[in-house]
Amino acid sequence: MSNYKLGLEYAKQQDQNDTLASYRNLFHIPKDKHGNDWLYFTGNSLGLQPKSTQKYIQQELDDWANLGVEGHFEAKNPWMRYHEFLTVSMAKLVGAKPIEVVITNTLTTNLHLLMVSFYQPTKTKYKIVIESDAFPSDRYAVQTQLEFHGFDANEGLIEWKPRQGEELLRIEDLESILKEQGDEIALLLIGGVNYYTGQYLDLKHIAELGHSKSCMVGIDLAHGAGNIQPELHDSGVDFAAWCTYKYLNSGPGSLAGLFVHEKHAHNRDLKRFAGWWSHNKSTRFNMRQPLDVIPGAEGWQLSNPPILSMAAIKASLDMFNDVGMDSLRAKSKKLTGYFEFLINELKNDKIKIITPSNPDERGCQLSIQVKDADKSLHQKLTEAHIITDWREPDVIRCAPVPLYNSFEDVYRMVEKLKEILDET
């Protein structure tokens, strides 16, 4: 059914026809000692550095050097409101309204802060549902929230698991969990795009199922932001959080995004952990005011933020704004489809793609399961400067990122994979 073709010529031609191909030149691509570009497939782990990032950070260093504390108001991009320069672009990327989004804190911190507000268990309705393959940090966050509220973490945690012999989650199984235990469940905290399998779940459906049993619904979008188009507002989920150093290319450990649905924006009864940055901007510096929380997502900020990290996020978001998520996603589907086609053409039973084959149920990542958990395959790829990521127990994750990976990258990667598989 696919229109893809084999051979290097085809790959080169696709790159020539690709209207987004020039964006690759806007990134630093790591090189081997002969000066050849690495084949970098781990933008799902740490995105590459835009060449413009340095300029954005330098601006803030210069303003700090020249203005000191006056930079809060006098900098070219005044630090007092720096996060506001990011909000509209960030909201657009995840399909949210500006009042629903802020860049603040880091991902796991945001999950905790959001659970302080949206995980309000009672003696009988207190359980939390996560995916069985949830990212460890999310699992630890949820376990410790349960314990913080005096519950047994094992007893309070419900795992939504793939069926025996399967790798992917089925929405009907979440439905069954809610049907059977919904009255005891307070919160669903689900990875919108699973970090391990690359499965992109139907957020709207999850929200509807959760809400039908009066559960709060939170989404971790670490693998979604800048990758898929989650349409957070329309999905109806209550809250979400994501980091910006994966597909959003803002640098190691950079700040995170936070989404709170508009329906909660003006609810002053929500419990929260607050700081001075949660407080009304117009009276923030009248140091003796009672707390007056900002409506919407900004009310979950705590501290004045690290501007250098914000500057790197601005560099990235300006680029995403320029490209537009629609055209990026269109290229992504084509590029990952091509990757899948080439792997399937290898017809090698030592490897198997576990990511959904439906492009609407995945982002750009393909997770390749390796028979007998043979790690040497990943090792040999790395030695050839093909950067992928090994995840226990038996998966190589590869993300052709549409902003900077080319069809030729994908072609060369699969050629090497074939060579290695043939050797072993």
List interacting residues with ligand PLP (CB under 6 A).
Answer: 106-108, 135, 137-138, 191, 195, 220, 222-223, 243
Tell me how far, at minimum, the Cβ of 139 lies from ligand PLP, in Å: 9
Q: Minimum Å distance from CB 365 to ligand PLP?
A: 11
Provide the H-helix boundaries in 19-158.
53-67, 71-74, 84-94, 107-118, 136-148, 153-156
Pick 63 or 131: Cβ nearer ligand PLP: 131
**What does the radius of gyration of the chain's CA atoms come to, in whole angstroms?**
22
Q: Tell me how far, at minimum, the Cβ of 127 lies from ligand PLP, in Å.
A: 20
Among residues 232, 196, 206, which one has the least CA distance to residue 92? 232
107 is in an annotated binding site: yes
Q: Which is nearer to ligand PLP, 14 or 355 (CB)?
A: 355
Compute CA 417 distance to the chain's CA centroid, rounded to the nearest angstrom.
27
Task: Decide whether 52 or 106 has the Cβ nearer to ligand PLP.
Answer: 106
DSSP string, 96-113: --GGGEEE-S-HHHHHHH
SS3 for 240-272 is EEEECCCCCCCCCCCCEEEEECHHHCCCCCCCC
Instruction: Give the Cα separation of 250 and 301 in Å (integer).
Output: 19
Q: Closest distance between ligand PLP and the C-beta of residue 243, in Å?
A: 4
Crossing angle of helices 171-181 and 203-212, in 10° steps, is 10
CB 186 within 8 A of CB 193: no
Q: Is 144 annotated as a binding residue?
A: no
Residue 195 is assigned to a ligand binding site: no
- Residue 225 DSSP label: T
**Least distance to ligand PLP from the beta carbon of 248, Å?**
12
Check whether 220 is labelled as a binding-site residue: yes
First vs last Cα of the chain: how many Å apart?
Answer: 31
Tell me the closest approach of the beta carbon of residue 381 to ligand PLP, in angstroms: 21
Residue 221 or 368: which CB sits closer to ligand PLP?
221
Helix (H, G, I), strand (E, B) or coil at 311: helix
Comparison of 56 and 195: residue with beta carbon closer to ligand PLP: 195
Amino acid identity, position 6 = L
| Token reading at 243 | 């980091």
Q: Give the span between the Cα atoms of 357 and 344, in whole angstroms.
A: 11
Residue 282 · residue 291 · CB < 8 Å: no
138 is in an annotated binding site: yes
Smaller CB separation from ligand PLP, 106 or 348: 106
CB of 141 to ligand PLP, least distance (A): 8
72: annotated binding-site residue? no
Instruction: State yes or no: 135 annotated in a binding site.
Output: yes
Contacts 24+ apart (CB under 8 A), 144-152: 145/112, 145/115, 145/119, 149/119, 149/121, 151/121, 151/126
Task: Name which of 342 and 396 has its Cβ closer to ligand PLP.
Answer: 396
Which of residues 39 and 222 has its CB atom nearest to ligand PLP in the complex?
A: 222
Q: Select from 97, 77, 78 the least CA-distant residue to 88.
A: 97
Helix H segments across 149-305? 153-156, 171-181, 203-212, 232-235
CB 197 within 8 A of CB 362: no
To ligand PLP, the closest distance from the beta carbon of 138 in angstroms equals 5
Q: Write out the binding residues.
A: 107-108, 135-138, 220, 223, 245, 276, 304
Q: Write out the binding residues for pyridoxal 5'-phosphate.
A: 107-108, 135-138, 220, 223, 245, 276, 304
